[in-house]
Structures are given as C-alpha cells and as structure tokens.
Structure 1
Amino acid sequence: MTSFADLTTIAVGGRIARFVEPTSRVGVIEAVEDADSKGLPLCVIGGGSNLLVSDEPFDGVVIRDARRRITVPDEAAPVENGERIVHVNAEAGANWDDFVAFTVELGLEGVEGLSGIPGTVGASVVQNIGAYGQEVASSVESVEVWDRKTKTTRDIPAADMGFGYRMSALKASMYQAPAVPADRFFPTPRYVVLSVTFVLRHSAQGTVGYGQLAKALGVEVGDRMATTVIRNAVLQVRAAKGMLEDATRYGNPAMAGTKRTDQVAIAMNAQAAQADASATQPDAAPAPDYDRHSCGSFFMNPILHPAAAAALPPDAPRFAATLPDGTPGVKTSAAWLIDHAGFHKGYRIAPDAPASLSTLHTLALTNRGSASAADIAALAKAVQDGVEQAFGIRLVPEPVVVGLDLR
C-alpha cells in the first residue's frame, strides 16, 4: 500500500487508503468529484515537496495527476514584427524542473532562476514559488482549474490569482488563518489546477536578479547572462545548501516516471559528484543525501508591522514588504531568527533524535533516515517555541501540514 513516506521529499507520513493517478483531464476531474461526492478526505499531491503528513493512516483519496505534457501554442521564435513573447502551456502534473529545463532548452527566458525547485507545475502556482529574484507569478498568464464548489472549470487570469509571498487565492482557500486549516477545503484547495499557461520571452539570456546568485557567478545584480549558465549556477547554489531533492527517490517505484529520465540522470550524477564517498568510489551508486530529505524551506519569512520590526536587533535582516491587509510591512529572515535563537545547523532536540535541522541550512528540517512525522513536528515546535521566546515571533510553516498542529 502506498504511503506519504513514498511520495514526499521528506519521506514521512502514513499509509494511503486510495491512491489514484489519472492520465487524462477528465480523469482528474472525475477522481476529484468522486472523492468529494462521497465526502472523503482528499489530497491532490504534486511532487510531495511541500507536504508534511502525520503518521496515521490517511482514510481518503490521494490524487497525483499523471499528465505531464508541455506545449507551445505560439511559434517558439520571434515573429516578423519583433515580438518576443512566447506562450507555453503545461499540464498540472508536469515536473516543475522538467518544465524549467524545457524552457531553457527552447531558448526562453523567465523561469531559469526557479531551477531545482522540487514539485509540479500545478503546485507552483498554488504556492507561488520563488527563488533567486524570480517568482512564478511574474510568468503566469492564466491558470485552468476545476472549481470544487461550483463544479465547473474556469480559467483564472494571473491578475485574479491573488499572488503574494508564498501565497495565491488557491492556497488561501485552504486556510481560515495562518496555519489554521479551513473547514471545507483542506488539504486540497477549492480550485484544483488542471494546467497553467505561462508568458515567457524568446531570449537565450536572462537577468541575474539576486545577490547570492550574482556572487556565485562573479557578476553584478542586473547583469545579463545565458539562461543555461544561470540555471546551472542556481542548481549548484541550491545543492550547496541541501535545497535540492534527493535524486535517489526516483528509484522508488512510487516515483518512477514522474521526472524526465535524462534530468534524473543529470541530478544523480551531480549528487554523486557532490558526495565525498563518490569521490573515492566513482562507480558507486549515489547514496541518499539526508540533508535533502526535507520540505525545503520549512518556515516562511515573517512579514511584520513596522513597529514589530523595529523591536528586532539592529543586525536583523529587513526588506520592504506588504502586509496581508495591503499596508507597508517589513520582511525579515526566518533562517536568521532560527540561527540567532540558538538553533545551529544540524540541531536535534536530543542527541539520538532522527530529525534535525539540515547540516547546511537552518531553515530546512530533515529526516536523517528513520524519522517519523511526529519527530519532524517535535523539532518544528522546538524551533517555533525558541524563536518566539527570543523574538516574540511565531514562525508559520511553509508546507501544507496534515494531521499535525504546528500553529
């Protein structure tokens, strides 16, 4: 029987009563409708990278969209009038990094900075993923969804998606308050993504939009470089911080076929090259990298009222941001707060605890090989409590948390 431990990047979670992989648009809709009509708990899962589920059996339906087609409705070349806009449509089940690789290979600019983020195209717009100076929101034209309330399909233009920092109207439909699930639509939004249409630019160069990436490339923020170079640099930076998924997970039968085989091979080779053991044994198969057994960044960067931000230590990071009510706010760094509250890289709540902060990045909570969801939750609560005690700020989990209370 398939479990969430088989399907998620952090490799924890209980058994699933019914696991369905529809291979058609109609099949996705019918599977969602079947679960809803029977009043069954429903979890539509992508790559399992932003999900923490309890160890208890999930007595409902888990749907993973098996459609992975990516198409270019436009001709992928500048037209005679010099227009460089190119539309690309991707089905919700397409692996996100496969999508990024596809666009870069096609000579398109717009999402190269989002390379290496685990998950699917459908999940990307729910979470409004972002990294290294880009957010998916800036490249979305429209999102085709199934509305579970009205039982209709609709196309939601980007302007109506409610995109914000790690937020969208889709994600908002799951919560009544931060980390507090809504009564009806949780852990799957009211709107189930069927496909996404992106607007990209025909260009073999992209803009380096983030300081850390510029430093890695030896250039200035705002410089233009080949998108292939930017993509490779992003992958290297993410790997150095343990913020790539463990490529060995694609050897798991439950994950087979969910990512392009050539991209899996590239990731496996890169992971082997990074591992110390592989340096002395070049022919050895890549071993699991437990720093990658995580949900990525586990806590959101807090956006504070200016008065609350003023109470932080002078050296705390501060960035201009917008509060949920639309007024000016200040964003600070969750990783900085965690580190300065006394939680070091590799921190465990006990010497033999099977869950720890990543040894490379304090913002990632990791499964060291035998952790349960309860172990991850205990670590998360320890960090939340410590940061709140030190700074008066309660960190909010970034992943969808099912069957556990991490408020």
Structure 2
Amino acid sequence: MAQIVPPPDFAKLCTLRLGGSMKRFYKTTDCGDLTTAVAAADRSHVELLMLGGGSNLVPPDAMFEGLVVQDARTNVSVVNDPMDWPSDVDLPKDFPNPAGFPPGTVLLRADAGVIWDRLVEYTVAQGLSGIEMLSGIPGTVGAAPVQNIGAYGGEIAGALLGVVAWDRQLNRVCYLSRATLGLGYRDSILKRSRASWGATGRWIVLEVDLILRRSDLSVPVAYGQLAGHLGVETGARVPLSQLRAAVLDLRRSKGMILDSADHDTWSVGSFFVNPVVALAAPVLARLTPEAPRWPVAGAGAVKLSAAWLIGNSGIEKGFALPGSRAAVSSKHVLALTNLGGATAAQIRELGNYVITQVNEHFGLTLVPEPVML
C-alpha cells in the first residue's frame, strides 16, 4: 500500500540531519506500486531518487524538484533447502545450480526496504553465518549491493547470490546474478549506471538474495583490529553474537553508530573511499613506511587508507573551517559530521577542503563515497 503524505524535509530522513524539502515524496509497501511510480516518473522525465536509510546521501539545501521514493517493504524469507528456491523471476544462465551448494547452506531473500543491521541481527539470532562482520552498517538492504558494502574484512559480495531488480531501461523486473553485478571495492554495475542515469541508476534493487551457512560460529576473522579486540588470531572463528558485539563496539568507538544525542555520529559514515592505486603510482613514493596499504588481488594495485592520508595531511579530528557547523569527527577523521545547524553546502565545502589538502600533500585525489544531490 502506498502512503501519500506531505513531503518531509531531508533532515528528517538522512543521517546527516540536514537538507531541504522535497517537492514529491512517495512511500510504499507494495512492489507493484513502487515500479509503477518509478515508470511514471521516467516517462515524465522527472528526476528520481530512491531513498533508503539516508545514510549515504548529502541532500541539497534547496527543495528537491524531483520524486523521492522510499521502499518500506520489510519481508525476509529463509529457504532451508536450496532446491526450494523461489522461481518467480527468470533466472540468468550463470545462476548457480542449488544442488551444488554445500550441506548447511541456507538461502535468504530480503526486501530492499529492510534495515540492513536488523537483517544482520536477525541472521545472528537464527544462527546463520556470513554477514555478521557487516553489523552496524547503516542503511537498507537495497543499498547494500549498490555500494558492495564492506567492513572489518568482509563485503556483501562474499554472501551475495543476486538481486531482483527493476530495469528502468527495459521497464521490467529482472534478476542480476553476483557475476553480472560486477562487484568491486565499494562498486557495482548498479552504482556505475548512475553516470548516465543520475542519483538513482538504471536498476532499482527490489530484493536481495544471500547465501548463508547454518552455524553458531562466525566466518574466519580476517581483520587485524577486530581480531585484536576479540583477543584471537586472524583466521579464528568465534560465536556469532560475540563477533557482532565486537564489531558494534568498534563502530561505536569511532562514532559510526548513529546516536541522536551525539552530533559526532550525524554523518554518512566514511565520507571517502580508500583509494586504490597502481603499484607504479607516484603517490607510493611519497608515503612513509608505516602508511597502511593492502594488496588488491590480481589487479597489480594496492589499497591505501584514506583516514591515514587525511590525518597525515594536517587535518586533525574535530577540525572545522571558520564559521562552519560541519566538522571532521572527533572520533575518526574519515567522517564529516553535522555539529548541529550545518548546511549541505558546509559539508561539501569541508569535503572539498579535505580533498585539496590530501592532494597537495600526496598528489592523490580522494573520491567521496556518498551520493551528492
């Protein structure tokens, strides 16, 4: 069922707690209503924004003249026998044969409107392993494959089977397998299609399919800081609830868990992606030996720490431009926060300042992670 309600301000729906008004807002719990609204907007050449949790968005200060659609569907289904996987959508040729899944495999389908961390909490409570290291990441399920969300040594790519999506170009529902999605570091074909389609790309995720394992133990701990917090070696497996609690502790210590009473958490999380550079890139010669870097398998490249680059370009935690209510988080330099009363323009100005400082020190241009309207 659709809800026609007075358009709210972005500030009420975005984790930055800022932004102007919307001209048109449509919230629905019906998939057919959603695709009908999207198709109508496209026919009328109305700019479209699919809004999930508002955790990866820097909205405009002025009124958004397009249509904002929010998917409020929250169904989650678990299939214990992969051979019973639903076939309501034509599956691609590269879809794996469920008969080949190992014993203990469980398939889970979640609507795009489900809050991501509630899904993780649910899987942990049900003894389903595979996404527990992604605890605490804000936003909705539908946004997860777009960004190929990841943290603490894991990505959704590791558990993703595919997505049911609305194809705005062909005006039909389709299935995109993990291989078709072209997942990379904070990247996918869904995200790349924004280059020609705008803030919302060609495909709108309707449902996400995950492959999980029935187990009380986590996947092997792959991130050193997380292993240290747990007091185990990397590669160890720990109870699901223990790993989830540790991840939430670490995220909270960095201001990465939204708290309405703590302005340090009024952010989009990590504002910049960690840059991936070629092994021959000049920037590597300008880094000190202790600068974090991680090899990118098969790419002849390394991933650098955006936080290290920012912190070593003269920008400290808590930094703010004169007269601005936007500031670098006092807990983590990778987050830009709203101290209360900040504008989107001030967030952008601070982001551009950080980019300039890093470029002047290291000759490298950081790329913002959130969508900027």
Shared fold per TM-score greater than 0.5: yes
Displacement of 1:243: 0.7
User: In structure 2, what is the equivalent of residue 393 of structure 1?
Assistant: 364
Range moving further from structure 2, 165-174 or 204-213: 204-213
Residue 199, structure 1, aligned to residue 171, structure 2:
no
User: In structure 1, what is the equivalent of residue 306 of structure 2?
Assistant: 334
1:160 equivalent among 158, 166, 180: 180
Give me the whole-angstrom Cα distance separating, in 2, the residues matched to 1:382 and 1:297: 16
2:273 equivalent among 300, 305, 317: 300
User: In structure 2, what is the equivalent of residue 353 of structure 1?
Assistant: 324
User: In structure 2, what is the equivalent of residue 62 of structure 1?
Assistant: 68
Unaligned runs of 5+ in 1: 176-181, 249-287, 403-407
Displacement of 1:373: 0.1
1:316 equivalent among 264, 288, 291: 291
The one-letter code matched in structure 2 to 1:42 is L
Displacement of 1:82: 7.8
2:252 equivalent among 239, 243, 256: 239
Give me the whole-angstrom Cα distance separating, in 1, the residues matched to 2:102 and 2:23: 54
Deviations 1:183-236 (A, max 9, x none): xx1100100000011000000101222111111111111111000000011001
2:125 equivalent among 98, 105, 115: 105
Give me the whole-angstrom Cα distance separating, in 2, the residues matched to 1:119 and 1:88: 18
Give me the whole-angstrom Cα distance separating, in 2, the residues matched to 1:209 and 1:3: 40
In 2 relative to 1, CA 8–82 (structure 1 residues): closer, same or farther, beyond 3 Å? closer
Displacement of 1:140: 0.7
Superposed CA RMSD in Å reads 1.6
Displacement of 1:28: 1.2
3-state DSSP class of the match of 1:224? coil
User: In structure 1, what is the equivalent of residue 36 of structure 2?
Assistant: 30
Give me the whole-angstrom Cα distance separating, in 1, the residues matched to 2:284 and 2:222: 27
In the alignment, is the contact (CA less than 8 A) between 1:147 and 1:153 conserved in 2? yes
The one-letter code matched in structure 2 to 1:209 is A
The sequence identity of aligned pairs, in percent, is 45
Unaligned runs of 5+ in 2: 1-6, 83-98
Displacement of 1:312: 2.6
The one-letter code matched in structure 2 to 1:344 is E
Give me the whole-angstrom Cα distance separating, in 1, the residues matched to 2:41 and 2:19: 20
Deviations 1:213-268 (A, max 9, x none): 1111111111110000000110011000001122x4xxxxxxxxxxxxxxxxxxxx
Q: What TM-score comes out, normalization by structure 1 length?
A: 0.83
User: In structure 1, what is the equivalent of residue 236 of structure 2?
Assistant: 223
Displacement of 1:401: 1.1
3-state DSSP class of the match of 1:337? helix
User: In structure 1, what is the equivalent of residue 95 of structure 2?
Assistant: none
The one-letter code matched in structure 1 to 2:284 is A
Give me the whole-angstrom Cα distance separating, in 1, the residues matched to 2:168 and 2:34: 12
In the alignment, is the contact (CA less than 8 A) between 1:22 and 1:31 conserved in 2? no
Displacement of 1:108: 0.4
- Show structure 1 runs of 4+ deviating over 6 A: none
User: In structure 1, what is the equivalent of residue 4 of structure 2?
Assistant: none
Give me the whole-angstrom Cα distance separating, in 1, the residues matched to 2:176 and 2:167: 11
Q: For residues 377-388 of structure 1, what are the structure 2 equivalents within 5 Å?
A: 377-388=348-359
Give me the whole-angstrom Cα distance separating, in 2, the residues matched to 1:344 and 1:10: 20
Residue 169, structure 1, aligned to residue 189, structure 2:
yes
